[in-house]
């Protein structure tokens, strides 16, 4: 099918959603069924002008996802022009102008949905986009600002603008996501009024409503956003219903959920291969997997409790422990066994060694931490100590502060080690950072005998 001059495999469109339709997410949805057009999340024009590198991650590898649309949001014509110039080096298929975002940030800045209350500036922005973009231009909007816009005025703007197609969410800006506010009658009238293709959007969360939406309004294509959350098969389900009248029920359980999370991680790893981010890749991976894992719990047994556990994770390791349903009892026994071996002096000294780097000359340290105290003891024995050196030390038994009991590893024996310090300050805190997410308490981890040992 065609949207203006744009040729697509079908009339399905994945909506642009901030912090949702990222590169990995778009690939994930397309893995379940071919989608005619996918959209990258909206990018602020003033952001591109002031700090273009901060938006690069939204555009990584988009040349491998075609057909794909890139959406811009802004109210300043000059910033829009510069943003279009910046985007020229990227390979994508449609430049979309946002005139529908209902967020407070957008409205305060007189952009997005606010433009439906400022047709004069909307016309200027469309003129800029058409003039300077080398790609087809589209417009995404809502049915109005506080109320539905005047059809005659709006149709003249659209028909005379030069845009290739229009996407309309069937609510006003003021309505936000109000479930009762969908206005298909207005979408139908709009379709009858304009001379370019119309894409319908809003509350398409199952095949039956998708068909009703298209049949009633006669739109040329449908755009789905929230309906994909937790149900990446929705485009396939709609296709089967449209073409065969076949209803494919949404089925989810823990096995299906884990399979889909594993798939998402594989696609995520492939996406991340060979690219750099403004923050560590593992952090980006954790954020992506965490939020998608929450969505993918949809309709599974005890999903509320599972979502709570997922939401409480702080890093990738904790998240995987929750998702993979590790043997909690086995993990507790493993930690207890390490503590037991430590008490029996069966842990190698090298495994108890703490490594810390001197970040400045030894003489410049005013606060004497354990690694500084250990470094001084090494120097007292006639060895050179300089900035940048990694000091290897252990904490020994005896009186005094931890710093006073920090000894260079080469000068101690395993019998000198302060077991209580390692259990209370190293092993237990590290284990609880992971196991508390799985519902394990410090009392359960330590057990009565270990607890008594530490309280002596």
Would you list the domain boundaries of the chain? 2-247, 261-323, 328-345+420-454, 349-416
Cα distance between residue 136 and residue 269, in whole Å: 32
Task: Name the phi and psi angles at 388, rounded to 5.
Answer: 95, -15
CATH node for 349-416: 3.40.1820.20
pLDDT (0 to 100) of residue 359: 85
Calculate ∠ Cα 299-305-310, nearest 5°.
95
Cα distance between residue 214 and residue 188, in whole Å: 9
Domain 2-247 identical in fold to domain 349-416? no
Give me 430's structure tokens: 């590290």
Q: Which residues contact 314 (CB under 8 A, 6 or more apart)?
A: 433
pLDDT (0 to 100) of residue 301: 83
CATH node for 2-247: 3.20.20.70
Tally the C-alpha atoms within 13 A of residue 10's C-alpha that lie toward its C-beta: 17
CA-CA-CA-CA torsion for 47, 51, 57, 63, nearest 10 degrees?
80
In 3-state terms, what secondary structure has residue 345? coil
101 catalytically annotated: yes
Task: Name the phi and psi angles at 377, rounded to 5.
Answer: -65, -35
Which residue's structure tokens are 């979408």?
187
List the catalytic residue out of 79, 97, 101, 435.
101
Instruction: Let me know: does 213 contact 219? Beta carbons within 8 Å.
Output: yes
Q: What is the mean pLDDT of each run of 10 residues along the chain (456 residues)?
A: 94 96 97 97 94 87 97 98 96 98 94 97 98 98 95 96 97 83 94 97 95 97 97 96 92 90 96 82 92 94 88 86 72 81 88 87 92 95 87 93 94 92 84 71 68 44
Give me 317's structure tokens: 């390791």
Give me 388's structure tokens: 């940048």
Strand 12-14 relative to strand 2-3: parallel, antiparallel, unpaired?
unpaired
């Amino acid at each position: 099918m065609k949207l203006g001059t744009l040729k697509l495999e079908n009339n399905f469109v994945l909506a642009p959603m901030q912090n949702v339709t990222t590169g990995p997410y778009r690939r994930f949805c397309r893995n379940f069924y071919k989608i005619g057009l996918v959209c990258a999340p909206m990018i602020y024009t003033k952001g591109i002008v002031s700090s273009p590198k901060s938006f690069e991650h939204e555009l990584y590898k988009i040349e491998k996802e075609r057909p794909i649309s890139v959406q811009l949001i802004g109210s300043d014509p000059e910033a829009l022009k510069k943003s279009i110039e910046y985007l020229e080096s990227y390979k994508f298929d449609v430049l979309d102008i946002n005139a529908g975002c209902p967020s407070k940030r957008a409205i305060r800045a007189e952009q997005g949905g606010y433009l439906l209350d400022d047709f004069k500036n909307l016309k200027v922005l469309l003129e800029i986009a058409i003039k300077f973009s080398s790609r087809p231009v589209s417009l995404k909007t809502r049915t109005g600002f506080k109320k539905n816009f005047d059809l005659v005025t709006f149709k003249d703007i659209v028909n005379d603008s030069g845009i290739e197609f229009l996407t309309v969410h069937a609510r006003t800006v003021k309505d936000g996501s109000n479930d009762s506010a969908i206005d298909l009658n207005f979408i139908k009238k709009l379709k009858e009024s304009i001379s370019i293709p119309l894409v319908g959007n809003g509350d398409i969360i199952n095949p039956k409503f998708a068909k009703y939406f298209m049949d009633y309004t006669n739109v040329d294509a449908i755009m789905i956003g929230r309906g994909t959350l937790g149900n990446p098969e929705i485009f396939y389900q709609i296709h089967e219903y449209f073409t065969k009248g076949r209803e494919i029920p949404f089925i989810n359980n823990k096995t299906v959920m884990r399979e889909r999370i594993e798939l998402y991680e594989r696609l995520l790893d492939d996406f991340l291969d060979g690219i750099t981010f403004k923050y560590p890749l593992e952090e980006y991976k954790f954020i992506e997997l965490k939020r998608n894992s929450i969505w993918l719990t949809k309709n599974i047994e005890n999903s509320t409790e599972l979502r709570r556990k997922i939401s409480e994770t702080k890093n990738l390791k904790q998240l995987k422990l929750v998702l993979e349903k590790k043997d909690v009892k086995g993990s507790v026994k493993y930690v207890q066994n390490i503590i037991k071996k430590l008490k029996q002096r069966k842990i190698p000294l090298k495994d108890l060694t703490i490594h810390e780097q001197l970040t400045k000359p030894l003489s410049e340290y005013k606060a004497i931490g354990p690694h500084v105290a250990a470094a001084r003891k090494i120097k007292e024995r006639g060895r050179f100590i300089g900035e940048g050196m990694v000091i290897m030390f252990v904490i020994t038994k005896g009186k005094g502060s931890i710093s006073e009991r920090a000894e260079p590893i080469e000068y101690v024996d395993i019998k000198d080690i302060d077991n209580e310090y390692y259990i209370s300050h190293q092993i237990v805190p590290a284990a609880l950072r992971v196991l508390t997410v799985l519902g394990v308490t410090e009392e359960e981890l330590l057990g009565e005998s270990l607890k008594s040992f530490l309280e002596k």
